Amino acid sequence: MIETIAFTLNDQPVSLRVDSDRPLLWLLRTDLGLTGAKFGCGEGLCGACTVLVNNEAVPACQMSVKAVAGSDVRTIEGLAKNGQLHPIQEAFVAHDALQCGFCTPGMILKAYGLLVSNPTPTRQQIVDGMEDNLCRCGAHVRIVEAIQTAAKALKGGTP
Amino acid sequence: MKSKPAQPEKQAAGVAPPASVTRREFLKRMGLLGGGLIVYATVGDMQAFARAAREGFKGAKVPVDFNAFLKVGTDSRVTCFVGKIEMGQGPITSFAQMVAEELDVLYESVDMVMGDTDRCPWDAGTWGSYSTRYYGIFVKEAACEAKGVLLELAAERLGCPPARLVAQAGVIYDSNRAGNRVTYGELTQGRVIERHLKEVPALKPVTEYTISGKPYLRRDAREKVIGAARYTGDIRLPGMVYAKILRPPAHGAKPVDVDTSAAERVTGVEVVRDGDLVAVLHPYPDVAQQALASIKAQYDRPQTGVNDNTIFEHLLKNAPSPVVADQAGDLQMGQKKATTIVEETYLNSYVAHAPMETHTALAHFENGRLTVWASTQSPFGVQRQVAEAVGLSAEKVRVITPFVGGGFGGKSASAQAIEAARLAKITAKPVMVMWSREEEFFFDTFRPAAVVKIRSGLDRDGSVAFWDYHVYFAGQRGCENFYEIPHHRESVYGEWRIAPGIHPFAVGPWRAPAANTNVYARDLHLNLMAAAAGQDPLDFRLRHLKDRRMRSVLEAVAQKIGYTSAKTPSGRGIGIACGIDAETVVAVMAEVVVDPKNGAVRVKRVACAQEMGQVVNPQGATIQMEGCLTMGLGYALAEEMRFDSGRLLDTNFDTYTIPRFSWVPKIETVIVPNPSLPPKGGGEPAIVCMGGVLATAVHDATGAKVLQLPMTRDRVMAALKNK
């Protein structure tokens, strides 16, 4: 159904006339030109399209546009502030926690959501929390280490 | 680029290579890209490379004689153009290191342009762990000659004998008078200069390296963590549409009736029917997908009865005659000496590449030229295929390869680019084809299902008396014998690339093709022999090994894992596998726990030792090893494509399971140094051991021999019952 949907996107208010049943992923990638969230499986099985909705990591391919009305949406493009990398991003770079990089935006935002709900996770809690996000290159060990480093840098505070 | 367009200028000094139309065109393009110095590399075995280039390009006009390029810009930044692509394996970093090293510039001042057919010299494709060990030589030679030309120019400019000149960090100065200096950028002065050296200087000795051989973090990490890195699907053009293509329900199915009328009624949708190609186009892929779903199509579906259980019988029945890959001695003589025979048949299933980025391409016609952005491992191959498909000459097709979201061999084939090009031609719009995950699995060029039969014998002393090895459809790579076995023969029935009409769907190269299957069969069989001989499996291998490189990695990995000798099965669950791949020698040991109630295999530790000659980027090489070991858990334990009469039963990640965080063991890696050898391959070797190391570990833990990969719980339970 075509309707006006308003939400906050990367700290900016947006208001769009849009078919509100469309998947958030494709609204982001087409109309809004934000291509950081990737298409991987289309069924919420891989996590490549992960974005934050009200600080919770969700697969954007499974969210309708109307489901985020009034919400606070953040994509990977909205994580660094004024060119300053977020501590999770810094840790991914420092640990070389990526290869092809296609899963990386989703991994980082999934980690963000994890650290919101649990700022001082154990290694096992990180593994459990990241389980649904897939990486084919095999960067898993470094991703876990990067999240540990980021958690330390954040000192238990909100990401 | 800031600098003005410039025309190529030949200088008196040096010897220019013979001109050709292609080269002039190429230089013109380079000129339009901004000023700088272009150097033609002339490298050792140029003829062989040129021959390979011609064969690969089927007679097209290609600049085969200048296969590596550099541009030194007016701002002293250096651009390196290579036809290779970046799919995560890291050449974007290691090539830049090699250039900086040989050219004596700062690593940070090197820019990489990769996989662009208009700007980069021809290349067959990014596969086979060739980038560093073969292409790297061209890149280094190019940088080395460029430095030689710059030194000549500097000698003229500074009025100083060349012997007194020192090149450092992009500046050349007179060692007697350091103030007498000139930057590379000042020397090139915005011109494009074609110049060759009469004598190409020798490459730097390894002992003088300050950049190559040092660990560097990925140079593309920052853009990848902020979401700025562009993959093919991220390219956006005005007026572009997404195409969703009608697909058959099974391989071999033929459409008998296709009704697109419902799709045509969807606002904004364009339906294209062009022979076998039925596509629905819309500016939104989600809308195109919905319209596609409204198409009613009926198919004739062949019932071949071939499925993932009957496939092995089918393969053996259709096996071509063998090629002997390796042999020594006389098998009959060996059999006479044997007192114990060990004979087994090993199977492995079809395995998907499953890169996170599905095959994607964007095609755009403009002014009679076609530009295709493609997620591919072979931009020049795509250029040729696309040109043929749309009836253009290859020169009129430009293929640009943005970052590739994983390939593993699966993007050696790039049918999506042809689809996008055909649709762009028909619709006169920029067309994006981004395969769904279901299409990705359906049209994958799978790692072939395969059978290995080994018959071998032990003599009275517990040594291998003979080894008769038969591999069906996996291919030769990795089956060759490196042990001291007096009588052996390795027979290969069909390659992974040649088996038309036999497999139920396409097969192709999968990270270290053939070697994963061969190492699994060989190492499990060796452990069964060690068990029959009452020996420790590491000692058993070492007593048959003279090769110093292989001994060095076996000893290194045993030390890393803290191995102590014991007869197998020891109950400890420690596995071992080793092999040679891409000229690199690699050994892996792993520790597993097998749940006797359900057959689940939990991998606790994996250690890997690799000797790969000189290492350009030890950080990158280590990460490739880790990636191989992690990815390899999948084909060893879980990954297989199930199918029935051409229909694929696993179409997404819910049932096709790839390694996840919880699977990943403690991983330890060792690079055994050997600077006496030039760089060997790094993208594939470590993965070849994963089937073998986990199968031997399961056997060592339980005495169960799992004779089929992947070692699913059911197969492990069955093997436990059979032991």
The torsion angles phi and psi of B659, rounded to 5 degrees, stand at: -55, 140
Tokens of A129: 């929390």
Q: Which residues is B575 bridged to in the sheet?
A: B590
The single residue listed with the structure tokens 């050349």 is: B172
Q: What is the DSSP string of B30-91?
A: HHHT--EEEE----TTHHHHHHHHHHHHTT----TT---EEEE-TTS-EEEEES---SSS-H
| Residue A72 at interface with chain B, using a CB cutoff of 8 Å | no
Q: Report whether the peptide linkage leading into residue B710 is cis, meaning its omega lies within 30 degrees of zero.
A: yes
Cα of B508 to nearest chain A Cα, Å: 18
Q: Do residues B355 and B408 touch, judged by C-beta distance below 8 A? A: yes
The single residue listed with the structure tokens 């499974």 is: A62
Closest CA to B318 of B326, B309, B310, B330: B310
Chain A interface, best mutation among B234, B356, B668, by max A CB count within 10 A: B356
| Residue A69 at interface with chain B, using a CB cutoff of 8 Å | no
Distance, CA of A37 to CA of A42 (rounded, Å) = 12
The single residue listed with the structure tokens 């700290």 is: A11
Tell whether A104 and A41 lie within a shared domain. Answer: no
Distance, CA of B569 to CA of B723 (rounded, Å) = 12
| Residue A66 at interface with chain B, using a CB cutoff of 8 Å | no
- What residues in A contact B653, CB-CB < 8 Å? 41, 43, 45-46, 134
Distance, CA of A50 to CA of A145 (rounded, Å) = 20
Q: Do residues B140 and B203 touch, judged by C-beta distance below 8 A? A: yes
- What residues in B contact A45, CB-CB < 8 Å? 437, 652-654
Q: How many CB atoms neighbour CB B485 within 10 A?
A: 17
Looking at residue A64, what DSSP letter applies?
A: B
What's the domain count of chain A? 2
Distance, CA of B305 to CA of B199 (rounded, Å) = 65
- Categorise residue B169: left if φ over 0, alpha if ψ from -120 to 50, beta otherwise: left
Question: Coil, strand or helix: which one is B299?
Answer: strand
Averages of pLDDT over each 10 residues, chain B, 723 residues: 30 28 49 46 44 42 42 88 93 96 96 93 84 80 85 93 94 94 87 67 91 97 98 98 98 96 96 96 98 97 94 96 97 98 98 98 96 97 97 96 98 97 98 98 97 98 98 97 98 86 94 97 98 98 98 98 98 98 97 98 98 96 98 98 97 98 98 94 97 98 98 98 93
Tell whether A131 and A71 lie within a shared domain. Answer: no
Distances (CA, A) of B91 to B84, B127, B446, B686: 8, 12, 25, 18
* Cβ contact B436–A108 (<8 Å): no
Tokens of A126: 């990180």
Tokens of B224: 């990848």
Max CA pair span of chain A: 45
| Residue A148 at interface with chain B, using a CB cutoff of 8 Å | no
Cα of B179 to nearest chain A Cα, Å: 38
| Residue A62 at interface with chain B, using a CB cutoff of 8 Å | no
Nearest CB partner across the interface for B356, out of A23, A79, A134: A134
- Categorise residue B227: left if φ over 0, alpha if ψ from -120 to 50, beta otherwise: left
Chain A interface, best mutation among B85, B216, B219, B225, by max A CB count within 10 A: B225
Give me the interface pTM, i.e. the ipTM: 0.98
Tell whether A71 and A98 lie within a shared domain. Answer: no
Tell whether A94 and A70 lie within a shared domain. Answer: no
Q: Which residues is B531 bridged to in the sheet?
A: none
In a domain? residue A50 = yes
Tell whether A52 and A99 lie within a shared domain. Answer: no
Nearest CB partner across the interface for A101, out of B220, B623, B653: B220
Cα torsion B174, B177, B180, B185 to 10°: value is 40
Q: How many CB atoms neighbour CB B251 within 10 A?
A: 19
Which residues of chain A are modeled with pLDDT < 70? Answer: none
The single residue listed with the structure tokens 């359900």 is: B598
Q: Do residues B573 and B595 touch, judged by C-beta distance below 8 A? A: no
Q: Report whether the peptide linkage leading into residue A119 is cis, meaning its omega lies within 30 degrees of zero.
A: no
Cα of A120 to nearest chain B Cα, Å: 18
Provide the number of CB pairs (under 8 Å) joining chain A to chain B: 174
In a domain? residue A9 = yes
Distance, CA of A95 to CA of B217 (rounded, Å) = 8
Distance, CA of A103 to CA of A49 (rounded, Å) = 8
- What residues in A contact B286, CB-CB < 8 Å? 22-23, 26
Q: What is the DSSP string of B100-128?
A: HHHHT--GGGEEEEESBTTTS-----S-T
**Adjacency order of strands within the sheet including B666-671:** B574-581, B584-594, B601-611, B666-671
* Cβ contact B629–A138 (<8 Å): yes
- What residues in A contact B682, CB-CB < 8 Å? none
- What residues in B contact A77, CB-CB < 8 Å? 226-228
Tell whether A38 and A10 lie within a shared domain. Answer: yes
Tokens of B456: 């071998």
Helix H, strand E, coil C: the string for B235-258 is: CCCCCCEEEEECCCCCCCCEEEEE
Q: Do residues B342 and B529 touch, judged by C-beta distance below 8 A? A: yes
Distance, CA of B69 to CA of B119 (rounded, Å) = 9
The chain A residue lying nearest B440, using CA atoms, is A41
Which residues, 6 or more positions from B475, have their beta carbon under 8 angstroms from its beta carbon? B448, B492, B494, B495, B496, B497, B513, B514, B517
The CATH number covering residue A55 comes to 3.10.20.30
Distance, CA of B375 to CA of A100 (rounded, Å) = 12
Tell whether A49 and A11 lie within a shared domain. Answer: yes
| Residue A139 at interface with chain B, using a CB cutoff of 8 Å | yes
Distance, CA of B166 to CA of B173 (rounded, Å) = 5
Question: Coil, strand or helix: which one is B513?
Answer: coil
Cα torsion B189, B195, B198, B201 to 10°: value is 60
* Cβ contact B225–A92 (<8 Å): yes
Q: Do residues A47 and A103 touch, judged by C-beta distance below 8 A? A: yes
- What residues in B contact A131, CB-CB < 8 Å? 660-662
In chain A, the N- to C-terminal Cα span, in Å, equals 36
The torsion angles phi and psi of B505, rounded to 5 degrees, stand at: -155, -175
Tell whether A69 and A25 lie within a shared domain. Answer: yes
pLDDT at A52: 98
Q: What is the DSSP string of A95-125?
A: TT--SS-SSHHHHHHHHHHHHHH-SS--HHH
Nearest CB partner across the interface for A96, out of B283, B623, B631: B623
User: Which of A26, A45, A78 delimits the end of a domain?
Assistant: A78
The chain A residue lying nearest B404, using CA atoms, is A100
**Domains, chain B, ranges and CATH?**
8-212 (3.30.365.10), 236-301+354-442 (3.30.365.10), 318-351+446-722 (3.30.365.10)
Strands B323-328, B369-374: pairing kind:
unpaired
In a domain? residue A132 = yes
Q: Which helix (H) or strand (E) holds B365?
A: strand B360-366
User: Which of A78, A104, A130 delimits the end of a domain?
Assistant: A78
Tell whether A129 and A110 lie within a shared domain. Answer: yes
In a domain? residue A102 = yes
In a domain? residue A159 = no
Max CA pair span of chain B: 84
In chain B, the N- to C-terminal Cα span, in Å, equals 69
Q: How many CB atoms neighbour CB B253 within 10 A?
A: 18
Cα A117 versus chain centre, distance: 14
Note the pTM of the prediction, 2 decimals. Answer: 0.93
Cα B660 versus chain centre, distance: 22
pLDDT at B19: 32
- What residues in B contact A101, CB-CB < 8 Å? 88, 220-221, 224-225, 229, 403, 405
The chain B residue lying nearest A132, using CA atoms, is B660
* Cβ contact B630–A43 (<8 Å): no
User: Which of A20, A50, A78 delimits the end of a domain?
Assistant: A78
Closest CA to B93 of B221, B204, B184, B208: B221
Tokens of B296: 């009613």
Distance, CA of B557 to CA of B612 (rounded, Å) = 15
Tell whether A13 and A65 lie within a shared domain. Answer: yes
pLDDT at B124: 83
- The type of residue at B701 is A
- Categorise residue B406: left if φ over 0, alpha if ψ from -120 to 50, beta otherwise: left
In a domain? residue A121 = yes
The single residue listed with the structure tokens 């994509």 is: A75
Looking at residue A159, what DSSP letter applies?
A: -
- What residues in A contact B623, CB-CB < 8 Å? 96, 99, 139, 142
The single residue listed with the structure tokens 């090629």 is: B323
Range of the domain at A6: 2-78
The chain A residue lying nearest B653, using CA atoms, is A45
Tell whether A126 and A59 lie within a shared domain. Answer: no
pLDDT at B499: 67
The chain B residue lying nearest A22, using CA atoms, is B286
Buried b (16+ CB within 10 A) or exposed e, A29-59: bbebebbbbbbbbbbbbbbbbbbbbeeebbb
Tell whether A96 and A74 lie within a shared domain. Answer: no
| Residue A65 at interface with chain B, using a CB cutoff of 8 Å | no
Q: Which helix (H) or strand (E) holds B138?
A: helix B136-158
The CATH number covering residue A119 comes to 1.10.150.120
Q: How many CB atoms neighbour CB B426 within 10 A?
A: 17
In a domain? residue A30 = yes
The chain B residue lying nearest A138, using CA atoms, is B627
Tokens of B136: 């790297």
Nearest CB partner across the interface for A30, out of B231, B284, B631: B284
Nearest CB partner across the interface for B284, out of A26, A77, A96: A26
